[in-house]
Structure 1
Amino acid sequence: MYRKPPSGPVHGRTFTQEARRAQIVEATIETLAEIGHTKTSFTAICRHANLSSTGLISYHFAGKPQLLREVTRTIVEKAGTLRTSRVAQEATYRGKLVAYIAAHFDFMARYPAHARALTEIAELVRERPVPELDDVARSALSVEALVALLEEGCRAGEFRIADPPVLALAVQGALDNVVRHHELFAVADLDHLARELTDIFTRCTLSP
C-alpha cells in the first residue's frame, strides 16, 4: 500500500526545502551551460528556475561559490554513479577500462548540460582561486579510481603498464579535452571518438 513520504527534515532540511535546492541547482546547471560562468548570476538563475526573487536562492545558498560547490558535487556524483555502474558490470579489467572510457561519453550524451556546466566551473577555477570549490574541484579532477583499476588489472595479469598513474592522467586528460573539443566544434560522432580512444588506451595497457 502506498504511504505518503514523511514531511520531516532531511539532513536538517524539509523535503520542500530539499526540492527547492534541487530546483535551484538544476537551473544553475542549465544557466552555466547556456551562457557560461561569467554571465551566470542569481538573476539569470531565477529566470531559469521561475523564481520570483533572488532572495529565494540566497535563503538556500550563502553566495555564488556555495551554490557552485553544490552544483559541482551534484554533477560529479551523477557522473561517478554512472561510471561505477558501467564498470561494475564488467568481469575483466580490460572490460572495466573500456566501460570507464565509454561512461564518459555516455554521460556527455545523456547529460550535455551537466558536462558543459562542469567545464564552465573548471574554467572558473583555473581563472581565479575559489576556496569554497577546492575540495570538490580536486574530486572532479581525481584519477584515483582509474589508477586503482589499472593497478588491479596489472596485479591480475591483464595489463602490463610501467606507470599506472601516468597512464591514468593521460586517459583523463584525453577525456577532458574531448569534452572541450566537442563543445567548441560540435563533434557529432561521439561513438567514433569513444571507440578510437578506447582502442588507443587498451593498446597502451599491452606495452611492456
Structure 2
Amino acid sequence: MTATITTIAELGYHQASFARIARSAGLSSTRLISYHFEDKDELIRQVIATIQGRLSAFVTERVSARRTAGAALETYIRSLAEYAGEHRAEMRAAAEISLNFRPEATALSALSQVERLLVWGQESGEFGAFNVRVTAMAVRRALEGLPFLLEADPEADPAGYADELAGLFARAVRA
C-alpha cells in the first residue's frame, strides 16, 4: 500500500503501473503485486479503503469526543486539515485517485458524515435553516482542495486554512 500511495502521489494515477509500484517497493518483479491483486482496479480499491480507514479513524476519534454539533463540525474541519498536512503524499494520492478512478461512488460516506453533523445541529437548534446536502458538499469540497494547495504551495499552513474554513462554516450554519 505504501509503495502504491507513494507512486501515485509522485507520478500521478495514470503513471502508477505495477512495474513502477514494484520498483518503489523494492521488488524485483510485479508478480508479488499481481498475486495479491487481480488488476490495478482491485489494487486501487484497496488503496482507497486503506486511506479512508486511516483518515476516518483519525477524524472519528476527535469528532466523537465533541458534545455540540458546532464543536463537532469545527473539529471535523480541523482534523481533516491536520491530517492532510501530516500525510501529504497520502492525500495527494487520494486526490489523484478521486479525479481518475470512478468505478463506484467513494465519497458518499464522508459526505453523509458531514450531513449527519449538520442535521444534528439543525435538530438541536444550534444551526439555522439551510440545505444540508449543499452545505455538506461545500465543506467536503473545500477540504478536498487542501492537498492541491499544499502541493502548489508546500509552505501553506494547513492550520491557518482550517481556521479560515472553520470560521467561514461556523458563520454559514449559525442559527
TM-score bucket of the superposed structures, by smaller chain:
over 0.9
Q: 2:80 aligns with which of 104, 115, 126?
A: 104
Q: Which has the larger radius of gyration?
A: 1
CA distance in 1, matches of 2:60, 2:42: 27
| Cross-structure match for 2:60 | 84
Q: 1:161 & 1:171 partners in 2: Cα distance?
A: 16
Unaligned runs of 5+ in 2: none
8 Å contact kept, 1:181–1:187: no
Moved more, 157-166 or 114-123: 157-166
> TM-score under structure 1 normalisation?
0.79
SS at match of 1:53: coil
Higher RCO by CA contacts (8 Å cutoff, separation 6 or greater): 2
Q: What's the CA shift for 1:186?
A: 2.6
Instruction: Measure how far apart 1:184 and its partner are.
Output: 2.3
Deviation by residue 1:91-150 (Cα, 9 ceiling, x = unmatched): 21111000000111111122111101101111213xxxx53xx14x2446x411111111
Q: Which residue of 2 aligns with 1:75?
A: 51
Q: Distance in 2 between matches of 1:195 and 1:62?
A: 43
Matched pairs, number: 175
Counterparts of 1:139 and 1:170, CA distance in 2: 14
Q: Which runs of 4+ in 1 moved over 3 A?
A: none
8 Å CA contact retained: 1:160, 1:206? yes
Give the residue type in structure 1 aligned to 2:166. T
2:128 to 160, 164, 169: 160
Asked if residue 181 in structure 1 is aligned to residue 149 in structure 2, the reply is: yes
Q: Which runs of 5+ in 1 are unaligned?
A: 1-24
Matched-pair identity in %:
35
TM-score normalised over the length of structure 2? 0.93
* 1:41 paired to 2:31: no
Letter in 1 for 2:150: H
Match of 2:99 in 1: 123
Q: CA deviation at 1:174?
A: 1.0
Q: Is the Cα–Cα contact under 8 Å of residues 161 and 204 in structure 1 kept in the other structure?
A: no
Say what the alpha-carbon RMSD is for the aligned residues: 1.5
Q: For 1:158 and 1:190, how far apart are their aligned partners in 2?
A: 27
Instruction: Give the equivalent residue in structure 2 for 1:171.
Output: 139
